[in-house]
Amino acid sequence: MKVAILQFPGSNCDWDAEHAVHDVLGIPAARVWHKSPLPTETEAVIVPGGFSFGDYLRCGAIARFSPIMKDLKSFAENGGQVLGICNGFQILCEAGLLPGALIRNDCLEFRCINQKIRVEHSNNRFNPDETGGELILPIAHGEGNYRLEDEALRKLESNQQVLLRYVGNPNGSMNEIAGIRNEAGNVYGMMPHPERAVEPYHPSLDGLPVLKAFLKPILSHSSVEISVS
Amino acid sequence: MNENTTSPLPPNPDPCLNVEITPELVAQHGLLPEEYDQVLQILGRIPNLTELGIFSVMWSEHCAYKNTRKLLRLFPTEKKDKDSVGQVLVKAGEENAGVIDVGEGWGVAFKIESHNHPSAIEPFEGAATGVGGIVRDIFTMGARPILLTNSLRFGSLESAHVKRLFRGVVSGISNYGNCLGIPNMGGDVYFDDCYEGNPLVNALCAGILKHEDIQRGAATGVGNPVFYVGPGTGRDGLGGASFASRELTEESAADRPAVQKGDPFMEKLLLEACLEMMAIPGLVVGIQDMGAAGLTCSTCETASRGSSGIEIDLDLVPQRETGMNSYEIMLSESQERMLVIVKKGREQEIKDVFEKWDLHAAHIGEVKEGDRMVVRHKGVVVADLPAKSLTDEAPIYDQPASEPAHIAAARAWDINSVPSLSQASVEASLEKLLAHPTIASKRWIWQQYDHQVMSGCTVEPGSDAGVVHLSIAGIDKRLAISNDCNNRFCYLDPYQGAQIAFAECMRNLACSGARALAVTDNLNFANPNKPEAYHMLKECVKGLADACSFFDVPVVGGNVSLYNEHGDGAIDPTPVISMVGLIEKGERVTRSFISNSDQNIILVGGLPHELGGSYFLQTEFGKKEGTCPGVNLAEEKKVQDFLIKTIDFGHIRAAHDLSEGGLLVAIAEMLFENPELGADLSIDSLGESNRLDALLFGESQGRVLVSVSDEDLEEVMQSAVQDGLSILRLGKSTRSGRLKLSVAGNEILDSEVNKMHKIWSEAIPEKMNHS
């Protein structure tokens, strides 16, 4: 197992993430229960979407106290690759692994749509060479409205930590932010669901380059044959 | 009442044993005097309050189908053709849900259930717990839930009250289903004044399972332990089943404690824990969800199915309120609970699973010899009843029926009573129809539902049928689902109207490339004790049963909701039909939208000519009248067989059936995915009716529009002629962004697609965002 997909009570995109990484990309991946230790052979972690602990109190606010979060923090501090998708993004923000917070959509309703997303020309690995610049990715959330203090936001922008932006803001996020990375460049968070755009019957195949780009560091020394195109 | 058996009752730790059973108390429990006499006869003594409560819920319409059991026997419950796919593995009424075979050792469990009355009082919680209940019915069978749909009916969206109900119901469904992570594929929604005070909220769930993993809800094996799993029991939802079996009145708001409160997170835990537990070989003997009538229903039904006795001790039931008496514990409808019977000696295994998920797994009783359901509380027996008498001996009624006068009037209706439609008015009439909430885009609803979770969504809501890929089961097949029922036709002609609902539902599947496998139905009707209401119920059931037999599509389960009345009004008869179908190959998945120009647009089934019952009569004249369109099941079958055959050959690019709003609405809808498209169409004659309104807006049945590329055109046309079908090429899609139509040489429409699309897509959001 190379990719650990965390499973909290209430996670519900854990199977989807495993399917995309394991079945579609062919990279060994498995779900890891929140009360278990993070396996030592883990090379990358995906914190999947869902409603961890029912999203009671605040999205991700309870999950950040789960036993596995201690392991996740040290994994991230040691440069481990972490991707939080949707509720996973919210958990990473609550845990302080990513800056900012995600609050209720400005339309006050849940939104499940196929969203146009622009990939930022930043010094991250999700650059348009890999992703083609503009993507169609599903979003499905009630709390995706990204917020950050003005000063921190300026820093996020000037550091080129903004990864993905909405084309047409579906939730009121500041600066149309759909996905970010941490300063070190190893922890990523995004509201769109790349794992829902990997099959011919999905709205697009644009999740593939996103997941491949995230997994590139482990792909480069992987024994598994994968064409990153 | 039986005077011989009354003796002074000793003081008792459970207050329910000290209450004197009076005729008033019996009446309050919804039992008729003769029903109570039957209870006395069964017991040979006077029941105590807890026992009376148990009889009252188990013999309510909701649990016992008192008024419909005889009628429901008309439905075929298995396929006549034993060689085809879709054989019934678990029949209607046997278990919590029916199961059909979908090949390769897999089965699909599915069922629809109503939560109308709770939703009328408390729309958010009512709808949410409706989803919760049906999902439990599916995973109780051992199936992993893979999709949800809903059939919703509301009054006019002009009313602030209706808007509140609509918003509450949609957000309740969204909140609960999204949290569970089961894709909601939409369903159907109608708006009609008849649902003003009594909305309908029918929720469907389908799940997938291996044949060998089908679970049964039977308590067998004397000495096997009975477990209660899930969160604690509270006083919520007391007597919900009997509440659902009464008419709604102004005082119903005071029944609020009978509406349950849902916790989707708890349900998600329960779902995962139960599936994990059921995956352990040989551990689970029987399992049953605690839905209507909670602990009562689950204990006596499992005992009855297992032909066993069962004994439980209420002191061991997890409780989240203090001081609950036996009546309250037995009748509570607290959500997200299950009853599980496991193999003796393996108690620790179930406890381990539920501990992992932080849920209670309390050992509350045992399977016993004999046939009694025995309930203890505080050291004394508080109920001792023969289990089968509760489940099988409920009274069954054959109510008097008489045809309402409006049905005869509908038959005698003359189309000439409708003023003819001028060419100049066609565009305005079309726009009025597109703006009617029943016809308008439902995106406002389904974009609040997570329809993509589980990665299977293949055709999203908004097409004729929703389609999900069965990737979660690791098989390369797709399940198509459609819900349907146009109440207007059922009101005007219950027998034919029900057949129209059936045929349209099946046609929707055919349009998506799927062959129908089986039906689940939700019979929503008014008070059956009124002969006119009962007549409509009876005729609808007969119509459905005949259609099921004709198409060899069996009913594998469903639900009956009666007493849908409010104040002076009753709902129209609304037998909601839902069907699942299978699409074996990915390339056969067909959607209802044209995606290119230069596509031939073809009408199959002949020119529409009937105006009765149409939405056009509603939007133009505010009338629900006229002769219901004819249904010819043999013709319908020909059309659907042709569709599936040509889709199989890869000749059909898009397919959309004609329904509410008729031909012109259907053409416009096919263009709406890409409003840059247009169409250039012509029809040679006005057809049989010789009327423009009936041609363009009539709702004749068995009609489908398909789009076909030039290279396949000849083959499609010839194939239709060979099948004896009426087929007409109307013209082609264009890049003009305009829908142009001429009839009998006269140009009658040249309209901007974008403008129509805007009216259609903004009709519901506009009403909801400005309230």
A112 is catalytic: no
Angstrom distance (rounded) from CA A131 to CA B170: 36
Candidate from B264, B446, B472 with C-beta closest to A54: B264
Q: What is the mean pLDDT of residues B656-668?
A: 98
Is B597's pLDDT higher than 60? yes
For residue range B557-573, what is the model confidence (pLDDT) as tens digits? 999 999 999 887 899 99
Chain A contacts of B472, Cβ < 8 Å?
Answer: 15, 19
> Which of these, A213, A171, A215, lies nearest to A192 by C-alpha position?
A171
Asked whether residue A184 is domain-assigned, the answer is yes
* Backbone phi, psi, residue B262, to 5°: -95, 150
Q: What is the mean pLDDT of residues B142-159?
A: 97
Asked whether residue A226 is domain-assigned, the answer is no
Q: Read off the tokens for B576.
A: 């909601």
Is B180's pLDDT higher than 80? yes
B62 is catalytic: yes
Angstrom distance (rounded) from CA B342 to CA B186: 37
Angstrom distance (rounded) from CA A62 to CA B358: 14
> Which of these, B677, B743, B580, B549, lies nearest to B109 by C-alpha position?
B580
Average pLDDT over all residues of chain B: 93
- Which pLDDT score is estimated for B460? 95
DSSP of A86-142, one letter per residue?
A: THHHHHHHHTTSSSSEEE--TTSS-EEEEEEEEEP-SSSTT-HHHH-SEEEEEEEES
C-alpha distances out from residue B738 to B424, B599, B664, B676, Å? 17, 15, 13, 8
Identity of the highest mean pLDDT range in B139-148, B293-302, B390-399: B139-148
Is B5's pLDDT higher than 60? no
Asked whether residue A174 is domain-assigned, the answer is yes
Percentage of chain B with pLDDT > 70? 95
Is B678's pLDDT higher than 70? yes
- Which pLDDT score is estimated for A225? 43
**Secondary structure of residue B532 in the 3-state scheme:** helix
Which structural domain range is residue A42 located in?
Answer: 3-220
* Residue B265 near chain A (CB below 8 Å): yes
Asked whether residue A87 is domain-assigned, the answer is yes
- Which pLDDT score is estimated for A224? 44
Chain A contacts of B478, Cβ < 8 Å?
Answer: 201
Asked whether residue A228 is domain-assigned, the answer is no
pLDDT band for B16, please (50, 70, 90 cuts). confident
Is B41's pLDDT higher than 80? yes
Chain B contacts of A33, Cβ < 8 Å?
Answer: 356
- Which pLDDT score is estimated for B65? 87
- Residue contact B181–A54, C-beta within 8 A: no
For residue range B216-268, what is the model confidence (pLDDT) as tens digits? 999 999 999 999 999 999 887 676 555 555 555 555 555 545 667 889 999 99
* Residue B585 near chain A (CB below 8 Å): no
For residue range B403-443, what is the model confidence (pLDDT) as tens digits? 999 999 999 999 999 999 999 999 999 999 999 999 999 99
* Residue B589 near chain A (CB below 8 Å): yes
CA distance A127 to chain B (A): 25
On whether the CB atoms of residues B237 and B332 are closer than 8 A, the answer is yes
pLDDT band for B515, please (50, 70, 90 cuts). very high
- Residue contact B265–A54, C-beta within 8 A: yes
End-to-end CA distance of chain B: 55
Question: How many helices (H) and strands (E) in chain A?
Answer: 6, 11
Cα nearest neighbour of B180 on chain A: A12
pLDDT top residue among B84 and B167: B167
- Which pLDDT score is estimated for B239? 60
Average pLDDT over all residues of chain A: 92
Q: What is the mean pLDDT of residues B269-281?
A: 97
- Residue contact B469–A112, C-beta within 8 A: no
Domain count within chain A: 1
Angstrom distance (rounded) from CA B131 to CA B135: 6
Is B6's pLDDT higher than 50? no
- Which pLDDT score is estimated for B18? 82
* Chain A residues bordering chain B (beta-carbon distance below 8 Å): 9-10, 12-13, 15-16, 19-20, 33, 35, 49-51, 53-56, 109-113, 138, 140, 142, 193, 195-196, 198-203
> Which of these, A33, A37, A28, A44, lies nearest to A11 by C-alpha position?
A33
Task: Suggest the residue from B184, B452, B585, B764 to mutate for an interface test with chain A (most A CBs closer than 10 A).
Answer: B452
* Residue B451 near chain A (CB below 8 Å): yes
- Which pLDDT score is estimated for B249? 54
Q: Read off the tokens for B169.
A: 């119901």
Asked whether residue A227 is domain-assigned, the answer is no
Is B522's pLDDT higher than 50? yes
Set out the domains of chain B in order of their start, with CATH numbers.
590-771 (3.90.650.10)
C-alpha distances out from residue B487 to B200, B493, B628, B665, Å? 12, 10, 11, 19
pLDDT top residue among B410 and B771: B410
Asked whether residue A229 is domain-assigned, the answer is no
CA distance B132 to chain A (A): 14
Identity of the highest mean pLDDT range in B66-75, B324-333, B441-450: B441-450
Bridge partner list, B424 = none
Q: Where are the beta strands (DSSP E) in B584-703?
A: 600-604, 654-657, 678-683
pLDDT band for B12, please (50, 70, 90 cuts). low
> Which of these, B321, B360, B370, lies nearest to B339 by C-alpha position?
B360
- Which pLDDT score is estimated for B251? 54
Percentage of chain B with pLDDT > 90? 85
Task: Suggest the residue from A5, A8, A12 to mutate for an interface test with chain B (most B CBs closer than 10 A).
Answer: A12
Residues of chain A below pLDDT 70: 1, 122-124, 128, 220-229
Least confident piece of the model among B224-233, B327-336, B429-438, B718-727 = B327-336
* CATH code, domain with A184: 3.40.50.880
Candidate from B174, B452, B454 with C-beta closest to A110: B174
* Residue B153 near chain A (CB below 8 Å): no
Q: What is the mean pLDDT of residues B735-756?
A: 97
Question: How many Cβ contacts (< 8 angstroms) between chains A and B?
Answer: 94
* Backbone phi, psi, residue A191, to 5°: -80, -40
Q: Read off the tokens for A186.
A: 């190893």
- Which pLDDT score is estimated for A223? 45
Distance of CA B474 to the CA centre of its chain: 27
